[in-house]
Structures are given as structure tokens and as C-alpha cells.
Amino acid sequence: MDNLPQPTLLLTLATFAVVIGVLVFIHEFGHYIAGRLFGVKADAFSIGFGREITGWTDRRGTRWKVGLLPLGGYVKFAGDMNAASQADDVTDATPAERSVMFQSKPLWQRAIIILAGPLTNFVFAIAVFAAFFTTYGHSRTPAVVARVVAGSAAERAGFVVGDRIVALDGTPVERFEDVIRVVTMNTGSPIDAEIARGLSRVHLVVNPALTDEVDRFGNHYKQGKLGIGSGGRVVVRHALLPAIGYAVKEVWLLTGTMADGIVEVVSGRRPVSELGGPIKIAQISGQQAVLGLPNVIQFMALISINLGFINLLPVPMLDGGHLFLYAIEAIRRRPLAPKVQEMAFMSGFAALLSLMVFLTWNDLIAVGVWQHLTGLFG
């Protein structure tokens, strides 16, 4: 297959700005709406960090603005010292001022406000998938083996044409796409496959081959491969309610795949070079823009799931870090000392900053910047 033309730098930057801007707005709007529900005043709603480029103040006193650095955003509630929702010194606040502060609300309300951001990202992804399932249809391929490649991992394991794959490593398989999702994430470790063969059930152990693949944009990546082929696809347009059900399941499966990927990287089963940061997201954004608007929207849904999942990790500065501290507060029946919370947030900030630098370094290697500089100065 011929490689598609690469997107221009302008198209890449514009698409990246739209993708990140929309998803950050959705995430922060979840926090904002939940805060409004519990009577918390929002002092600022920002897309991006740093110096304000443009903005306005609404009748409730909330400053809506766009920051210079478009790599995130925040809602600063009344009583917050900063965008990370650390509590400010409010000893001089009046009762009326305290009543609309985030920190004055009950623990369960604060937890819901924090949780609302990631949940909104998941809801957005569900809405996108449901819309696609009702308009374009839901593509499903029966999990039946139609072809076994000679000499492949599948042939060595004993797969034969006509086998219906029921489960992989105990995870139920309903369609061939489920097989692809499990196998492509595999790094060569054995997979226990439950097979329906005629009227009997057969258990096979297969070791997927690890192959180097190249997509239509010329990007290289490694994935597992069994060496089996599927039959024809079936595309079904669902009514709205069934589409939502299938969309929820799809988001759940994708979230699990992301979690498995992180575990494999941390455990050393996958190389850290597979992790990508903002430059990689920008690159893929431009590539999806070349393929058309539906592809960009689907990509946004995937990034939205990623954003929701990452924010739930128990790392200070992230929503999951806040929820973790709230869990400790619920157990102790009192919050941690301000100094301890400050140290937690500082360590979380340092960890996230280090991760961002590392991911950017990975991205620069992936797009060939260091090789180019070596050629210039070597």
C-alpha cells in the first residue's frame, strides 16, 4: 500500500489545538458543572496555562480565558490557592464567602466535583461511539478462524479453519476484533485460548509472534500476531439505546487495554519508547485530519478515554491524587496536615514534569529530530 501524503505543519498544529482544546474544555467543564451543582463559585476557567491570550468575565464573576501554553487547563474554584485546588488561607473569609468555597463543602461533594472531570471524558467517548454506531454502523466480525497461515504461531498451537474463539486468557471473546485487541498488545507471552470446535471445547496455548509493522503513514510499531484470518465483516446500525450499551462496552474494553499497556511498560514487557507525549499526539492528529473529519472525531474519543484514565491515577496534581487524599481523609476523619499535602503536590508536580520531559524526549526521537541534528553537527 502506498503511503498517504503527510499532513502539513499548519494542519497538524491546527488539528492538535482543536483536539486538545475541545477535550480539555470537556474535562474541565465536568468539574465546573459539578461545582455549580453544589454551589461552588468558580473564579477562573482556563484552557491552557500561562499568560492569558484572551478571555471574558461572566455575570457570576468567573473569568473564562485561553492561556498561552495549550497543554491542559483548569477550573480555579473559590478558596483554591492555585489551579491544582490546593486550599488557600481563608481565615479572614466571611461566612458568605466560605459558603461558596470548594474547601468548605463536605468531603463527598468535593470528591464528586473532582471525579466529574474524568467521567465527562468517558461520557464524551461513549457519546461519540454511540453516534457512530447509529450512523455509520457497528462493524463486527465473527470470531471464527477462516484461514490459518502455514508455519504461523496459530498453526503450531493447533488452530484449524472453522474454530470459533470463545475466550483468550479467560477473557470472553464475542468478535474477531476482541482477538485483535488482545493479540496486538501481546509481547510474546503465551495466551490460553478456549476454542469451540464442533460440539466440543478445546484449550490451546499459543505464543504470538512479535512483528514490526508499518502503518500507512510510515510509522513503525511492534505487535503480536497469531497468523489467522477472519471471515467477512458484518456492519449493523443500532438504535440509540443498544448503541449506547455497545459504546459503554467499547470504552470499558479500551480503558482496560490502556491499563494493560501501562502495566506492561512499567513491568518491562514493553519498551518505554512506545510511550508518546504531546508531539506524538500532534503528529497523529494531523494524520487523522488527512483521513477526514470522522477519523479526527474517533481519535478525539480515544484521547478522551486516555485523558480520563490518566487523570484517575493516584498521583498528586491529578484528579486521582485528590481522590486518594480524600480517601485518606475519610479514613482518618480529618485531612492531612497542610505541610504533608504541600509535599505531596510538589512531589506529584515533579513526577509529572519529569514524565512530560521524558515523553517529549521520546517524541523527538520518534520524529527524527535528534537524527537530523546529528546530521547537521556530526
Q: Break the chain into its structural domains and give their ranges.
A: 9-38+105-135+293-377, 138-236
171 band by pLDDT with thresholds 50, 70 and 90: confident
Q: Assign 194 to helix, strand or coil.
A: strand
Residues 122, 301: contact at Cβ < 8 Å? no
* Spatial distance between the Cα atoms of 219 and 366, rounded to a whole number of angstroms: 9
268 band by pLDDT with thresholds 50, 70 and 90: low
Phi and psi (nearest 5°) for 76?
-100, 110
* Spatial distance between the Cα atoms of 324 and 154, rounded to a whole number of angstroms: 44
The per-residue pLDDT for 270 is 66
Taking 50 as the threshold, does the pLDDT of residue 37 lie above it? Answer: yes
Q: Enter the CATH code of domain 138-236.
A: 2.30.42.10
Given the residues 28, 264, 274, 329, the one annotated as active site: 28
- Residue 154 half-sphere exposure, CB side, CA atoms within 13 Å? 21
In this prediction the pTM is 0.79
Radius of gyration, alpha carbons of the chain: 24
CA distances from 149 to 90, 180, 198, 206, 225 (A): 69, 16, 21, 14, 11
Taking 80 as the threshold, does the pLDDT of residue 361 lie above it? Answer: no
Contacts (Cβ under 8 Å, ≥6 apart) of 11: 286, 289, 290
The per-residue pLDDT for 372 is 43
Which letter does DSSP use for residue 73 in this model?
Answer: E
Q: Is 264 considered catalytic here?
A: no
What is the per-residue burial (b if ≥16 Cβ within 10 Å, else e) of 338-360?
eeebeebbeebeeeeeeeeeebe
Residues 180-193 have a mean pLDDT of 82
Taking 50 as the threshold, does the pLDDT of residue 375 lie above it? Answer: no
What DSSP assignment string belongs to 6-29? PPPHHHHHHHHHHHHHHHHHHHHH
Taking 50 as the threshold, does the pLDDT of residue 226 lie above it? Answer: yes
Mean pLDDT score across all residues of the chain: 84
* Spatial distance between the Cα atoms of 229 and 167, rounded to a whole number of angstroms: 17
* Digit-coded pLDDT (tens) for 308-328: 998 998 888 889 988 999 999
Where do the DSSP E strands lie in the chain?
42-57, 63-77, 138-140, 145-148, 164-168, 171-172, 191-197, 200-206, 209-214, 220-225, 228-230, 234-236
Contacts (Cβ under 8 Å, ≥6 apart) of 118: 27, 30, 307, 308, 309, 311, 312, 319, 320
